[in-house]
Amino acid sequence: MDSEQAQETIDSLRAGMETRGRIGMALGIVMTKFDLTDDTAFDYLRRLSQHNNVKMRDVAEGLIAEHVDACRSVPVAV
């Protein structure tokens, strides 16, 4: 394996780890919001992905963005 191939492998692994982390965050949001188990929450994300014909990582990013926006709209007591 030459250095270019090695770098491509490293980049691919990093992207996979980041995607996995973001899907995990979305799972946590769904589990909390709907009081679901991790397996049921994963099935929910999978169905959203398939129904909308988008990648699961994109579904996860959308849910995370919605959650962040919702949190920003909650007033903070000072």
pLDDT digits (tens, 9 = 90+) for 1-54: 788 887 888 777 787 778 888 999 999 999 999 999 999 999 999 999 999 999
User: Which pLDDT belongs to residue 55?
Assistant: 94
Alpha-carbon distance of 45 to 41, in angstroms, equals 6
Q: Is the pTM of this model over 0.75?
A: yes
Burial class (CB in 10 A: 0-12, 13-18, 19+), 30: buried
- Using 50, 70 and 90 to split pLDDT, how confident is the model at 56? very high
